[in-house]
Amino acid sequence: MESTNRYEQEYEILYEEQWNQLKEALDKQEMEEFREEFLELHSYDQATFFTEQPKELRMRIYTYLSPEETAEIMESMELEESVDYFTEMDPRYASMVLAEMPADDAVDILNELEKDQVASFLTIMDKEAADEIKKLLHYEEKTAGSIMTTEYVAIVKTQTVREAMKQLKEDAADAETIYYIYVLDEDKRLVGVISIRDLIIADDEDLVEDVMSEKIVAVSVARDQEEVAQMFRDYDFFAVPVLDFQDHLLGIITVDDILDVMEEEASEDYSMLAGVSETDRRDDNAFVSARKRLPWLVILLFLGLLTASLIGRFEETLEQVAVLAIFIPLIAGMAGNTGTQALAVAVRGIANGDYGKQGKTKLILREAGTGVITGTVCGLVITIVVYIWQGNLYLGLLVGFSIFGSLIVATLAGSLIPLLMDRLHIDPAVASGPFITTVNDLISILIYFGMATSFMNFLI
């Protein structure tokens, strides 16, 4: 353990020294010294150093690095970060960087830019690279077509293994992955797949169609990216081919693209659960952040007015037993928290594809049971506490039964609403935490004051 810490400390010292040397070379405009030190770093460390520099020094780095070297840095960054840097580059240089990136990554960046910027970059860019990117740009966002890459190795089934190996050596440098090699027929339809391992151990004179596997798992170009991500998780794939309706191979989706999809979907769901239209970016100012959050807050404001209006309808009840007002925040808060817990479980299960038809029924029954158990325990506890505190058994029973009923309803609402939305093909994360909380406030207040009004004779 001590030796491990020693190695970590030594690495941190070397890392800091190298960082300082890079900054010194950059400040003194010593290009050769900077390049020598900088290009020894891992691309992730290069990206980290790059993002820490002010704009003035970043502009200097662009002049020191080739478009290919800058492309590697951009690939190691988060999408939102890299988009910002492309807008500050010289357009001609930026177009060359995009041309050096994998086509799918370049498309992701271009999709975040203004249309006139995209047109400008594509006009300046090398024609071959621009044509590859244009093929992907017309696919609908969040589909398999939008995240696939056209940089793969494909061979023909009538080739010999020797010929296939020769082609592999020629095409491998430009391919995003060579773990899988895709086999096409004369009409360029996908008919098989062969791993690099199987290709190496096969006899040179064997035909590819004799050694390939015909068990292909592929996705349609229009398939939703979230469903593709679930497929990668279930089958542990490194790559999946993307086909058109006639089984022509259009591209492949690799596991690194799927990791980005998972992060994007998780971020989107988190934003919705938090009641914002999209995740705030760290460079957003206060006005931009407020604009993103206001739509949900305004909706919730009107729902809150409904709650206030509902309480106003029980004004006479409150006048007769004023102590009832003390427990409004308690009952509404418990219902909201319980509903949010059930919502999180349901949304996570739907997003992961854990629930089939039977699974959803099982979820509802489990959440109903959970609501009964938690409602019973919390109801008993609060009944005893209120009785000791206020010296009124009937008041304690009222609050206890209100908690019991509210927790059951809130738990069911938290699980049923996202399941219903999923059935209607609406993103279940739209049933955000604040939305469920406000709805459960309405329900719990109705239960509480409805019971109080019905049993008023026992409370006075």
Give 134-139 contacts, CB < 8 A, sequence gap 24+: 135/103, 136/103, 136/104, 136/107, 136/251, 137/107, 137/110, 137/111, 139/221
**pLDDT for the residue 156:** 92
| 84 touches 55 (CB < 8 A) | no
**pLDDT for the residue 8:** 58
| 182 touches 190 (CB < 8 A) | yes
- The number of C-alpha atoms within 13 Å of 15 and in the hemisphere containing its C-beta is 11
* CA distance linking residue 415 with residue 426, whole number of Å: 15
Instruction: Give 320-371 as a 3 state SS string.
Output: HCHHHHHHHHHHHHHHHHHHHHHHHHHHHHHHHCCCCHHHHHHHHHHHHHHH
3-state secondary structure of 25: helix
3-state secondary structure of 43: helix
**pLDDT for the residue 68:** 92
| 110 touches 87 (CB < 8 A) | no
**pLDDT for the residue 351:** 65
Pairing label, strands 154-156, 180-184: parallel
**pLDDT for the residue 1:** 46
* CA distance linking residue 167 with residue 428, whole number of Å: 47
pTM reported for the whole predicted model: 0.59
**pLDDT for the residue 92:** 92
Q: Is the dihedral of CA 186, 192, 193, 197 positive or negative?
A: negative
To the nearest 10°, report the CA torsion of 433, 439, 445, 450.
-150
Domain 13-141 fold is MgtE N-terminal fold (1.25.60)
Domain 154-254 fold is CBS-domain (3.10.580)
Single out the residue of 146, 166, 144, 148 nearest to residue 156, CA to CA: 166
- What phi and psi, each to the nearest 5 degrees, are found at residue 205? -90, -5
Residue 400 makes CB contacts below 8 A (sequence gap 6+) with 379, 380, 382, 383, 386
Q: Name beta bridge partners: 249.
A: 243
**pLDDT for the residue 155:** 92
| 105 touches 137 (CB < 8 A) | no
Chain centroid to Cα 23, Å, comes to: 35
* Per-residue pLDDT reduced to its tens digit, 304-341: 777 777 777 777 777 777 778 888 888 888 887 888 78
Domain boundaries, the chain: 13-141, 154-254, 286-459
Q: Is the dihedral of CA 38, 42, 45, 50 positive or negative?
A: positive
**pLDDT for the residue 21:** 86
CB atoms within 10 A of CB 30: 14
**pLDDT for the residue 371:** 86
**pLDDT for the residue 357:** 54
**pLDDT for the residue 165:** 92
Q: Which amino acid is at 47?
A: A
Residue 202 makes CB contacts below 8 A (sequence gap 6+) with 161, 211
**pLDDT for the residue 75:** 87
**pLDDT for the residue 266:** 66
Which parts of the chain have pLDDT scores under 70? 1-15, 265-285, 288-289, 292-293, 296-297, 300, 351-359, 426-434, 459-460
User: From 3.40.50.200, 3.30.1300.10, 3.40.50.410, 1.10.357.20, which CATH number describes the 286-459 domain?
Assistant: 1.10.357.20
Single out the residue of 325, 306, 330 nearest to residue 449, CA to CA: 325
